[in-house]
A = this chain, B = another copy of it.
Amino acid sequence: MPKIAIDTTIVENKSITDDVKELIVYAPKIAQQAVPGQFVHIKIATGEPLLRRPLSISNVNVEAGTLSLIYRIVGKGTAYLANLRTNDEVNCLGPLGNGFDLTCERPLLVGGGMGTAPLIFLAQRLNPRTTTVLMGGRNKAEMFWQPMYEGLAKEIHITTDDGSMGTKGFTVSALPELVKANQFDRIFVCGPHVMMEAVAKFAKEHEIPCQVSLEKYMACGIGACLSCTCVNKLGDKRKKVCTDGPVFWAEEVL
Q: Is A47 at the interface (CB under 8 A from chain B)?
A: yes
A162 neighbours in B (Cβ, 8 Å): none
A76 neighbours in B (Cβ, 8 Å): 47
Q: Would you call the interface of chain A mostly helix, strand, loop, or mixed? A: loop
A47 neighbours in B (Cβ, 8 Å): 47-48, 76
A48 neighbours in B (Cβ, 8 Å): 47-48
A41-72: which have CB < 8 Å to B?
Answer: 47-48
User: In the assembly, what is the distance between CA of A48 and CA of B48, in Å?
Assistant: 7
Shortest CB-to-CB span from A56 to chain B, Å, is 26
Nearest B-chain residue to A49, judged by Cβ:
B47
User: In the assembly, what is the distance between CA of A48 and CA of B47, in Å?
Assistant: 7
Shortest CB-to-CB span from A90 to chain B, Å, is 15
User: In the assembly, what is the distance between CA of A47 and CA of B47, in Å?
Assistant: 9
Shortest CB-to-CB span from A174 to chain B, Å, is 43
User: In the assembly, what is the distance between CA of A76 and CA of B76, in Å?
Assistant: 21
User: In the assembly, what is the distance between CA of A61 and CA of B76, in Å?
Assistant: 37
User: In the assembly, what is the distance between CA of A76 and CA of B48, in Å?
Assistant: 13
Shortest CB-to-CB span from A65 to chain B, Å, is 26
Nearest B-chain residue to A76, judged by Cβ:
B47
A27-52: which have CB < 8 Å to B?
Answer: 47-48
Shortest CB-to-CB span from A120 to chain B, Å, is 33
Shortest CB-to-CB span from A8 to chain B, Å, is 18
A106-135: which have CB < 8 Å to B?
Answer: none
User: In the assembly, what is the distance between CA of A76 and CA of B47, in Å?
Assistant: 10
User: In the assembly, what is the distance between CA of A236 and CA of B48, in Å?
Assistant: 43
Shortest CB-to-CB span from A9 to chain B, Å, is 16
A65-93 interface code vs B (CB 8 A; 1 in, 0 out):
00000000000100000000000000000
Nearest B-chain residue to A47, judged by Cβ:
B48
User: In the assembly, what is the distance between CA of A48 and CA of B76, in Å?
Assistant: 13
Question: Please, could you name 4 A-B residue pairs with CB atoms under 8 Å apart, sorted by A?
Answer: A47-B47, A47-B48, A47-B76, A48-B48
The 4 closest A-B pairs by CB, nearest first: A47-B48, A48-B48, A47-B47, A47-B76
